[in-house]
Structure 1
Amino acid sequence: MKILLILWAAVCPFVFCVAQPKYEFRAAWIATVDNIDWPSKGNYNPESQKAEYRKLLDMHVQNGMNAVIVQIRPATDAFYPSPYEPWSEWLTGKQGRAPSPYYDPLQFMIEEAHKRGLEFHAWCNPYRAELQIGKSSISPTHITKIHPEWFVAYGGKRYFDPGNKQAQEYVVHVIRDIVSRYDVDALHFDDYFYPYRIAGQEFPDDKTYAAYGGGMDRGDWRRSNVDSIIVKLHRGIRQENPHCKFGISPFGVWRNNDKDSLGSDTKAGQTNYDDLYADILLWLKEGYIDYVVPQLYWEHGHRAAPYEVLVDWWSRHSYGKHCYVGLGIYKAGTNARWRDRNIIPMQIRDARSYSTIQGQVYFSSKSFLKNPNGWNDSLQQHYYKYPALIPPMPWIDSIPPVPPVINAIVTEGNAANQQVRINAAYIDKEKRLRQFALYAFSSLEDTDISNRAPLKLIPTVSDSLDYVLALSLLPQSGKELYIGLTAVDINNVESEISILQKLERASEKAEWETVK
């Protein structure tokens, strides 16, 4: 059987494909609070919401993302049927009102992400309870109505008091419920533990400090409160689902070095440690979290928090856990530096220069809709042109799955549009499959995939593969070509490679022929 290999001019030389990162986390946040990203404000129709969400995911896939971080609990409410909290006002227009016609948005969002090969990270705000006191829609069943003594008002918003032990246990129950019932790949918290300071106002926790402070310095006591819920969440998530990751996206500065020699050479007005009472480094050192996404939303040379200083600092302070940098594409056009189309590409290149930085996350999804500074094009045509596997976490799982079994290869189409149909099966009964990874090699001596990016990642929701590959996507150099396939499990651990098919040709301009 002959195979004609047709290459489009737009396809890069194979050597360039090899140079791409094999492992890289590439994600975007999808914020639901106040309808920032999804669903659009006033859109309470389930079918229209679904269409919007699918369109968002398709855009992210086109841009080369391999994960989404979706806010499902923006203000002690729910984008899913919760036994603890009412439906979100940003989903249905009124807190406590269920979608009509009914559907489970979280189940839908997870399934749609997985169909596209995207990891789904469930983003929850830990302690925000009411976004605008007196203006937010609050259900009679909201926890602020049932246990008002757990909450404090600060800056026009209502928060759980992190020093209240009952409030902590309640939040842990909510998270356990999510992880136990839904196939989320990770549980994700943002930077709001104790809220950002407001000039002239002290966070009103005198009552709980008097009850539980035990003579500790108030700052140390507040940090211990945040540490304790992180430990409880870590244990709860692991108990409910050992494969579910736990990640935090903190403010970009842990501490300035004028306060602590371990801190960064920055002059941030507020920091995680001193103002938000979040000791991120402790959580990384102790293994309470699996990844960190510092929000590095500043440009190179920023007077208080330069990007280049902070990406270097975080690269040296992740303590063996994963670090993905948060990039602020929402700032496009806000000043002269953010009108420079090179700023995001430069930040990606800087992050990639550190072996201890494993990816990027973008805030937020709606910023991509207008292709700011042509950054969608940059991702599609250059930085994310080829797929990357999500980096595995060996402390969760390091055992590779069984390689796939190749059943058949069949050519289809005509000379102008030649295709190959690949049929394979995954027979490992011990490990769940996430996707197949497809590779191409110029010789059998060149089949080391330890540092080679796949040519194609093929998401699957079953243990079989029936996939049609356009031959125009394959490399053209040489007289031999080998197609290989691996299995990637739900923990992103990759199997050994199965060599699928050898192709030969008499000269580089001749037609390809399969070799049995």
Structure 2
Amino acid sequence: MKWNRKSPQSKKNLYVLLLSAILLASCFFPLHAGAAGKSSGPARNQAQAEMKGVWFSFLNWQQFLKGKTEPEMKAAFSQICDVALAQGCNAIFMHVRSHNDAVYPSGIYPWSTQMLGGNPGFDPLADFVSIAHAKGLAFHAWINPYGYRKGSYSGDPSLVSATNIVAGIQEILIKYPVDGIHFDDYFPPLGTSVHNEMIRQVYALTHRYGKIFGISPTGNLENNIKMGADVGTWLSTPGYLDYICPQLYWTNQHGKQGNDPLYTRRLQQWIFLNKLGLPMFVGLASYRCGEKIPGDPGWQLRNTNLYEQALSAKKAGLSGYLLFDYASLLKPAAQNELANLRLVK
């Protein structure tokens, strides 16, 4: 994802190593047992349906929802759903835990100050899932499992354990009829074994509730490897994911001369890596439409980037796309691009 925030300085290496040990230890005491394998039943069917989704980030919470009363928030979210539907979306991926906090009453995580400003006195998540479903939108609970961004942990770092991550997801699955659980691309450098064991537990848990689970890693494979996001294993070994959504935030007019088809090159890399043939969505950078992006002039040169990207992904057999983020749907500079995207049927 792309955040317009400066991050705190990185934690010391010793702290990272200690936290890695704690997380790894907690992985050996899973809250639930479950057979890990290929997706089946309702979960597999959901993941195979064509996706036209939009991410609603914690920054969108701050811009459109934070500080409102329950009636005001419900009305605002109803309008948010209408905007997404008008763009042709069939799903919303909404941040529900972003900074080791929550937008619902939790026995593990405190109320979110980032997204809500504290305890609002009502349950926004219950309201939003109900509203989205009534309007025909799928609702996926988007979680930053570690509350980690650019070298530091948000909120209370003592909450960061595989046990808490999995138990927190169980809270959501028990209380709310969400359509799936979704992770983003922020993985601290704790080692692939730590992340992989936690992800297997989340996969098994979501399947116990008949839901789907997927991750949206950064589109640069080298960066995933550095962060410990073991995308190669996730896409070659059953029992990790129902779908994957790499963030391919480049045009095919990349580079100083505007002649590097970087989007297509990255797309082909991910298709090749997907040995299981899992459903794959492509994350598209609608927030960049019409912007002057250093090293990627295509965003200003053309207004058919999203259309061409979604169409090429569809022709390659991918299962749809997600747009980052909701605010871009209202952005004047993006309207031509978004109108062209709606032509992809």
- TM-score normalised according to structure 1 size: 0.52
Equivalent residue, structure 1, for 2:12: none
- Alpha-carbon shift at residue 42 of structure 1 (Å): 5.3
Answer yes or no: is the 8 Å Cα contact 2:192–2:229 preserved in 1: yes
Matched, 1:120 2:87: no
CA distance 1:231–1:54, shift in 2 (3 Å): same
- Alpha-carbon shift at residue 71 of structure 1 (Å): 0.5
Cα distance in structure 2, aligned partners of 1:105 and 1:131? 28
Matched, 1:236 2:205: yes
Equivalent residue, structure 2, for 1:317: 273
Equivalent residue, structure 1, for 2:82: 58
Structure 2 gap ranges (5+): 1-47
The DSSP-based 3-state class of the residue aligned with 2:88 is coil
The one-letter code of the counterpart of 1:232 is Q
- Alpha-carbon shift at residue 108 of structure 1 (Å): 1.0
Match of 1:173 among 162, 167, 176: 167
The one-letter code of the counterpart of 1:298 is W
Greater RCO, 1 or 2 (C-alpha within 8 Å, sep 6+) = 2
Answer yes or no: is the 8 Å Cα contact 1:75–1:131 preserved in 2: no
Sequence identity, in percent?
30
- Alpha-carbon shift at residue 345 of structure 1 (Å): 1.1
The one-letter code of the counterpart of 2:142 is W
Match of 2:307 among 342, 345, 355: 345
CA distance 1:106–1:45, shift in 2 (3 Å): same
CA distance 1:115–1:231, shift in 2 (3 Å): same
Match of 2:319 among 315, 336, 358: 358
Following superposition, which runs of at least 4 residues in structure 1 exceed 4 angstroms of deviation? 129-134
- Count of paired positions: 286
* CA distances 1:324-343 after superposition (whole Å, capped 9, x unpaired): 00000111222242122111
- Alpha-carbon shift at residue 133 of structure 1 (Å): 8.3
Match of 1:281 among 232, 238, 241: 232
Equivalent residue, structure 1, for 2:8: none
The DSSP-based 3-state class of the residue aligned with 1:322 is coil
Cα distance in structure 2, aligned partners of 1:133 and 1:254? 22
Q: Which moved more, 1:339-348 or 1:288-297?
A: 339-348
Cα distance in structure 2, aligned partners of 1:26 and 1:37? 21
CA distance 1:42–1:237, shift in 2 (3 Å): closer
The one-letter code of the counterpart of 1:276 is M
The DSSP-based 3-state class of the residue aligned with 2:82 is helix
* CA distances 1:63-120 after superposition (whole Å, capped 9, x unpaired): 1111110000011101111111111113432xxx321xx3211111111111121111
* CA distances 1:169-224 after superposition (whole Å, capped 9, x unpaired): 121111121112211111000001116xxxxxxxxxxxxxxxxxxxxxxxxx7111
The DSSP-based 3-state class of the residue aligned with 1:377 is helix
- TM-score normalised according to structure 2 size: 0.76
The DSSP-based 3-state class of the residue aligned with 1:51 is helix
The DSSP-based 3-state class of the residue aligned with 2:93 is strand
Cα distance in structure 1, aligned partners of 2:62 and 2:320? 24
Cα distance in structure 1, aligned partners of 2:221 and 2:246? 9
Answer yes or no: is the 8 Å Cα contact 2:306–2:338 preserved in 1: no
Select the structure that is richer in helix: 2
* CA distances 1:114-135 after superposition (whole Å, capped 9, x unpaired): 112111110000111699989x
Cα distance in structure 2, aligned partners of 1:79 and 1:61? 23
Equivalent residue, structure 2, for 1:297: 249
Matched, 1:331 2:288: yes
* CA distances 1:7-34 after superposition (whole Å, capped 9, x unpaired): xxxxxxxxxxxxxxx95210000002xx
Cα distance in structure 2, aligned partners of 1:332 and 1:114? 29
Cα distance in structure 2, aligned partners of 1:129 and 1:317? 26
CA distance 1:131–1:338, shift in 2 (3 Å): closer
CA distance 1:343–1:233, shift in 2 (3 Å): same
Match of 1:227 among 176, 192, 196: 196
Cα distance in structure 1, aligned partners of 2:233 and 2:282? 19
Instruction: Note the 1:19-418 alignment, pairs <5 A.
Output: 24-32=50-58, 35-37=59-61, 40=64, 43-93=67-117, 97-99=118-120, 102-128=121-147, 143-144=156-157, 147=158, 160=160, 167-194=161-188, 222-239=191-208, 241=209, 243-255=210-222, 271-273=223-225, 275-287=226-238, 288-303=240-255, 306-318=262-274, 319-335=276-292, 336-339=297-300, 340-355=302-317, 357-371=318-332, 372-380=334-342, 382-384=343-345
Structure 1 gap ranges (5+): 1-21, 151-159, 161-166, 196-220, 256-270, 385-516
Q: Which moved more, 1:280-289 or 1:60-69?
A: 280-289
CA distance 1:56–1:42, shift in 2 (3 Å): closer
Max Rg structure = 1
Answer yes or no: is the 8 Å Cα contact 2:304–2:340 preserved in 1: no
The DSSP-based 3-state class of the residue aligned with 1:383 is coil
Cα distance in structure 2, aligned partners of 1:320 and 1:60? 29
Cα distance in structure 1, aligned partners of 2:149 and 2:139? 26
CA distance 1:186–1:312, shift in 2 (3 Å): same
